[in-house]
Amino acid sequence: MTKPTFLLASLFTIAASALAPAASAQFGADRVAKPDADELYADRAMKNGWYDDAEERYSAACEDKSRQTEVWARNCRKLAHIYRRGLLDGQDYERSKALYDEACFDGRDADSCLEQAHVSFKGNDGNQDYEYARRLYERACDLGNQTGCAAYGSMLYRGQGGMMKRDEGKDYIQRACETGDSWACERARGFGFPDRRGL
């Protein structure tokens, strides 16, 4: 190998190794962005009862789909809380449901799934819908939320919102309890299931 060719090859190797960490870093796991100044202000506004301000900030963040999915979905959920709780002009379950659903299904926010599932299960909006609640609890479970898994299992076990599947329901509840989810363990005890933790 001639000297210029060797020098060129060496420079290429050095350049490639310098770029390697940056290239591999771009494929690492996404980190959920921390709340920015607007979201922190909105959170503080909620605590102080400045609901108009909170609504404005959460709404802007919820609508901005150029942001990280977890961020806009989280803000949609917080905005939905305002409408569900009636903190502005009375409760608006239709509006909160649309936001929870968007955050749950499009934004992959398990907490949003749980919030709307609870409303649908209890019928707080005047429309008790076990079938929809079951679908939302299953979605929360698919997203890794163990309380969602236990609730889905409970509905399977009882045959609420669909076919009764006792063995499958029991398994969901027990597995969620094994992860340490306290609500799942309460369900397991309530149904008289053996405690499988520690096995």
CATH number at residue 157: 1.25.40.10
Residues 90 and 133 in one domain: no
pTM of the model as a whole: 0.81
Q: Is residue 93 part of a domain?
A: yes
Domain's final residue, options 64, 80, 107 = 107
What's the mean pLDDT when you consider all of the chain? 88
Q: Is residue 61 part of a domain?
A: yes
- Rounded to an integer, the average pLDDT of 66-91 is 97
Residues 147 and 75 in one domain: no
Q: Is residue 132 part of a domain?
A: yes
Instruction: Of 33-42, 91-100, 155-164, 188-197, give the lowest mean pLDDT range.
Output: 188-197
- Rounded to an integer, the average pLDDT of 116-138 is 97
- Rounded to an integer, the average pLDDT of 166-192 is 95
- Rounded to an integer, the average pLDDT of 150-159 is 98
Residues 102 and 137 in one domain: no
Is 86:117 a contact under the CB 8 Å cutoff?
no
Least Cα distance to 152 among 166, 134, 139, 128 occurs for 134
Instruction: Assign 72 a pLDDT band (cuts: 50, 70, 90).
Output: very high
State percent of the chain over pLDDT 70: 82
Positive or negative: CA dihedral 102, 104, 105, 106: positive
| CA dist., res. 188 & res. 167, Å (int) | 13
Instruction: Assign 86 a pLDDT band (cuts: 50, 70, 90).
Output: very high
What distance separates the 2 farthest-apart alpha carbons in the chain?
Answer: 83
Would you state the pLDDT for residue 157?
Answer: 97
Above 90 in pLDDT, residue 15? no
Which structural domain, as residue segments, surrounds residue 90?
36-107
Above 60 in pLDDT, residue 3? no
- Rounded to an integer, the average pLDDT of 84-88 is 97
Is 34:74 a contact under the CB 8 Å cutoff?
no
Residues 130 and 170 in one domain: yes
Would you state the pLDDT for residue 27?
Answer: 52
Above 90 in pLDDT, residue 1? no
Residues 125 and 187 in one domain: yes
Residues 186 and 170 in one domain: yes
| CA dist., res. 20 & res. 161, Å (int) | 52
Which amino acid does the sequence have at 145?
N
